[in-house]
Amino acid sequence: MTSGQTVDGSDSISGTDAGRVIAVATSGTLAYATDPSSPSLKWAQAGSADNTLAVFRFNATNEDIRIDKIGLQMATSTLSSATMASNSPSDLSKVTIWDGATKVGEAVFSSTDYATATLNLSSAVIIPKNGQKLLTVKADVAGIYTSGPARPGHLVLVNYDASSSSNCAGGVNTSCQRGAVGVGMSSGVAVGSGGSDSATNGARIARAVPTVAKISLASQKFSNTTGNTLYRFKVGAAAGTNGVSLYKFGFNIATNTSSVVELPDSVDDSVVDPTYNNDFMVTNLKLYCYSDSSFSQPSCGSWDNSGLVNQGGFAVMNGTAGDTGPTATSTDTADIVNQADPDMDFDVYFNPTDSTLGSTQEAIRVPAGETRYFVLKADVTGASSTPSIALKMNGDATLAGLNNSKEDGEVDGDPLDYTTNGDNWNTGRYVFATAASQVDAWDDDQFIWSGNSTNTTQDVADYDWFNGFMVPGLSNTDVGDTETLTL
């Protein structure tokens, strides 16, 4: 047998060709897998375009294969609010398929969770023989308004549909039941890929998503005085939105020779306990807000125009059982860093407009297209030798879910059954976002924010609040970048 010889099935192999095995294939094969470069879970802004949701990898064997159609599906819902995916086609305006920088097809989920992306023959997607090609799936997210169409907090997942019923390529008018269909470029035979449905990570959507960034201090030194600057950061909101609202920031503070406890404030309600007079202490934690990067223009609505957002020392140490929220008994300014415990988390709530220095928490706002700059200050006493102060801004390690808000199954006395009207976010218990106080009841509650779905001053009782999981610039391992200061 020689190269190029036609085989009609009657030929035999003999002589020096004996013992060879020749495999004959009538067409190529096409295989699918989710590529490792497929993105992790992230937030996506409502109304934004070209959000990358997945990367599909196709492999061809025996011949080049042109892909003509790809079956897609939106993931179905589960009962856990932490993983629940939206199966509402109204969350997406359209889905597009990209070969590198070239858009090669698109699909629209019109009324069901299933859609077929028809690829452009003018920019044919050819999978090379015994090679592979990556195709990127991007989505345009619909807008969020009072009446929809998208919903805040929905987790949108667009996956490869392995059993898509597509009309096969190559002129064969039958249902392939394959995720992708095309034609072999040498054989002209219709080819389909099967495999399993993909399980991509997707994107959670909000009207606006805050961005957080730490700002370096001008000096990493402190002294035994009042108003030491310990930490600076900024929070931004995207243009073309309603801005974002903020309800709470969480921090961690520690020293190298001491730690944080809430010590007795006084003896006989008048004199500070002398046992602690000479301790190295960090007290009177205050957070200020500014509208400029030079920290010279007070903002966030402070009643005395100082920029102070936690009037009356509205910072809560979380070291004792009693310190679980912003109550009048746990917001005094004597919460301190001291020599009795390694370190301490503390929460800053906001009451900038409260001239009476009360404990009613408010939301502060970052307008669309703007940034607010924050600085945390504190008083230091008793520092000597080589002490240091370490300050971190906390993030949230998991997405807070209403199904695990409280171990006893209640929040504010209400049973945690959010299935009735669960997707009616403006009138009922909502499984994707909730009131700020309910987010504050979760274990992961260090950074609480709203995407301002319906107005620029979203009320703290609206079902439009989230924790800090996956917020750009925050850590997903509870604590973020450390700022360390020395004497």
The string of DSSP letters for 361-412 reads -B-EEE-TT-EEEEEEEEEEES--SS-EEEEEEE--SS---GGGS-TTSEET
Average pLDDT over residues 384-397: 87
Q: Which two tokens stand for residue 38?
A: 């497929």
* Cβ contact 206:43 at 8 Å: yes
Q: Which residue has the tokens 């609040």?
A: 465
Q: How confident is the model at residue 300, as a pLDDT?
A: 95
% of residues, the chain, pLDDT over 70: 71
Residue 225 tokens read as 């005085």
Q: In the prediction, which pLDDT does 404 show? A: 39
Q: Give the per-residue pLDDT at 438.
A: 84
Q: For 441-456, what is the mean pLDDT?
A: 91
Q: Which residue has the higher pLDDT, 478 or 45?
A: 45
Half-sphere exposure of 452 (CA within 13 A, CB side): 23
pTM of the model: 0.81
Q: What is the pLDDT of residue 175?
A: 47
Higher-pLDDT residue of 374 and 85 is 374
| Cis peptide bond upstream of 152, omega within 30 | no
Q: What is the mean pLDDT of the chain?
A: 78
Give the pLDDT mean for 206-234. 95
Q: Is 146 exposed, middle or buried (0-12, 13-18, 19+ CB in 10 A)?
A: exposed
Identify whether the C-beta of residue 225 lies closer than 8 Å to the C-beta of residue 380: yes
Residue 163 pLDDT grade (very low, low, confident, very high; cuts 50, 70, 90) = confident
> In 3-state terms, the chain is what percent helix, strand and coil (to 5)?
5, 40, 60
- Kindly tell me if the per-residue pLDDT of 116 is higher than 90: no
Phi, then psi, of 16 in degrees rounded to 5: -70, -15
Instruction: Give 135 or 356, the one with higher predicted confidence.
Output: 135
Is the pLDDT at 364 greater than 90? The verdict is: yes
Bridge partners of 221, per DSSP, are 486
Instruction: Give dist(CA 313, CA 300) in Å, integer.
Output: 16
Where do the DSSP E strands lie in 5-50?
A: 29-34, 42-45
pLDDT at 411: 43
- Ranked by mean pLDDT, the top range of 77-81, 309-313, 434-438 is 434-438
Which pLDDT score, from 0 to 100, does residue 17 have? 54
Of the pLDDT bands very low, low, confident and very high (cuts 50, 70, 90), residue 280 is confident
d(CA 458, CA 367) in angstroms, rounded, equals 12
Q: Write out pLDDT tens, residues 20-61.
A: 555 556 778 999 999 999 999 999 999 999 999 999 999 999
**Which is it for strands 203-206 and 42-45: parallel, antiparallel or unpaired?**
parallel
**CA–CA separation, 332 and 54 (whole Å):** 49
What is the pLDDT confidence band of residue 388, given thresholds at 50, 70 and 90?
A: confident
Instruction: Tell me how crowded residue 233 is: count the other CB atoms within 10 A of its CB.
Output: 20
Q: List the single range of 32-36, 201-205, 313-317, 383-387 with lowest mean pLDDT.
A: 313-317
Which residue matches tokens 């020392």?
Answer: 313
Is the model's pLDDT at 357 over the cut of 50? yes
- Cα separation, 328 vs 23, whole angstroms: 82
Q: Hey, is 482 helix, strand or coil? A: strand
Spatial contact of 434 and 465, defined as CB atoms under 8 Å apart:
yes
SS3 for 347? Answer: strand
Given this model, what pLDDT does residue 442 score? 84
The tokens for 293 are 């990067």
Contacts of residue 446, defined as CB under 8 A and 6 or more positions apart, other chains included, come to: 248, 249, 250, 345, 347, 394, 395, 396, 467, 468, 478
Return the pLDDT at 375.
97
Give 171-233 as a 3 state SS string: CCCCECCCCEEEEECCCCCEEEECCCCCCCCCEEEECCCCEEEEECCCCCECCCCCCEEEEEE
Comparing CA positions, the residue from 282, 351, 283, 348 lying closest to residue 311 is 351
Query: Residue 130's CB: how many other CB atoms inside 10 A?
Result: 12
197-201, 353-357, 392-396, 473-477: least confidently modelled range? 353-357
pLDDT of residue 433: 82
Lowest mean pLDDT among 22-36, 133-147, 466-480: 22-36
In the prediction, which pLDDT does 5 show? 54
Give 309-327 pLDDT, tens digit per residue. Answer: 988 766 665 543 333 344 3
Kindly tell me if the per-residue pLDDT of 432 is higher than 90: no
CA–CA separation, 474 vs 390, rounded Å?
17
